[in-house]
Amino acid sequence: MKRSLPSLGLVLALLLVLLAPAHAEKSTADNPDMREGLARFYAGQWTEANAAFEKVLEQDPENTLAISYILHANYKMHNIDGAISEIERKAVARGEDPQMQAHLGMAYFLRGMIMPNVLDEALTEFRAASQGDPQLAMPYTGIGLVYFQKRMMPRAKGYFIRALRLNPHDVMAMDRLGNILLVDENKPQEARHLFERIIAELPTYPDGYYFMGSALFDLKSFEEAIPYLQRSLELDPNGFTQGFDAATLLGDTFLHLGRNQEAAEAFEAAKKIRPDSRYVEIKLKKAHGEED
């Protein structure tokens, strides 16, 4: 560990306070429309998924995860320009409305993942939204996403924590903050607490299970990681988000345990998602006891 024990303890204490299940506010993350949207999305039914996620936004306009899935589905349908134009139209109609500015920032963020120069436009909208209503969590999550994409992790982390102070149920903020703790700061035990919370908030969100399995893998809790990775792959069998990574990590976990037949089955599932993966090809040979 590169950081001192006092700072680690402080971060963990802060996260536990932020995400305590006894928080008075009721989570809106898991509801029938969200579950429907996730099921449709991972079945590749983009139009139906969007309809469900739009209902989620009607109930909870600050649901960063729902608007992210809407934009992702439109990207899959090659309709990202149309989706962004619709959000721009709504933003113009509502004037300087902080919530719509945050939605517009999310739209520009997605475009910025394809055209990096647009990320600054997303920042402009997020900052305007946060100035218009400092109590909105979505703008801070959005700013964190921009800095995450720019690989400015300490700055991104600060904004995700700020968002969670305002909305402890923001699954997107928890997801990215946990990713920073797990990957960039090598703190799997702290990350594990966040991923546990995500699974509790949204039990049909496959990425929560993948990252939970990843944290347990890094903690060398291989047996404990298996059901989380299996559940992630069950929920995302086509690899639309983390399904491929769940399959490969599941295979690696079985290899660590000497369960080669099960490892081969996991890598075969990964191969169905990405038939040309050289990594999977090598691992399959290892699972079958063959030399590369």
Decide if 35 is inside a domain. yes
Q: Which residue has the higher pLDDT, 111 or 216?
A: 216
Q: Are residues 156 and 222 in the same domain?
A: no
**In this predicted model, what pLDDT tens digit does every residue of 228-277 receive, in sequence order?**
999 999 999 999 999 999 999 999 999 999 999 999 999 999 999 999 99
Q: Are residues 37 and 104 in the same domain?
A: yes
185, 202, 219: which is the final residue of a domain? 202
Q: Are residues 71 and 171 in the same domain?
A: yes
Q: Domain with 288 in it: what CATH number? A: 1.25.40.10
Q: Are residues 214 and 194 in the same domain?
A: no
Which long-range contacts (C-beta less than 8 Å, at least 24 apart) are formed by 150-157?
A: 150/119, 153/180, 153/184, 153/185, 156/180
Q: Are residues 247 and 123 in the same domain?
A: no
143, 167, 202: which is the final residue of a domain? 202
* CA–CA dist 143, 269 (Å, integer): 36
**In this predicted model, what pLDDT tens digit does every residue of 20-35 receive, in sequence order?**
433 334 455 779 999 9
Q: Are residues 243 and 123 in the same domain?
A: no
Decide if 96 is inside a domain. yes
Q: Are residues 63 and 193 in the same domain?
A: yes
Decide if 21 is inside a domain. no
Q: Are residues 235 and 120 in the same domain?
A: no
**In this predicted model, what pLDDT tens digit does every residue of 212-236 receive, in sequence order?**
999 999 999 999 999 999 999 999 9
Q: Are residues 216 and 141 in the same domain?
A: no
| Cβ atoms of 213 and 246 closer than 8 Å | yes
* Average pLDDT for 37-59: 97
* CA–CA dist 172, 285 (Å, integer): 37
Q: Which residue has the higher pLDDT, 228 or 114?
A: 228
What does the pLDDT read at residue 15? Answer: 40
Number of structural domains found in the chain:
2
What does the pLDDT read at residue 6? Answer: 30
Token pair listed for 240: 């639309």
**In this predicted model, what pLDDT tens digit does every residue of 73-104 receive, in sequence order?**
999 999 989 999 999 998 888 888 999 999 99
Decide if 121 is inside a domain. yes
**In this predicted model, what pLDDT tens digit does every residue of 146-166 receive, in sequence order?**
999 999 999 999 999 999 999
Print the domain residue range for 235.
Answer: 205-292
Decide if 175 is inside a domain. yes
Answer yes or no: pTM beyond 0.95.
no
Q: Are residues 39 and 105 in the same domain?
A: yes
Q: Which residue has the higher pLDDT, 145 or 20?
A: 145
Token pair listed for 124: 């402009």
What does the pLDDT read at residue 28? Answer: 56
Q: Are residues 286 and 237 in the same domain?
A: yes
Q: Are residues 177 and 137 in the same domain?
A: yes
202, 235, 257: which is the final residue of a domain? 202
Decide if 16 is inside a domain. no
Share of the chain above pLDDT 90, in %: 82
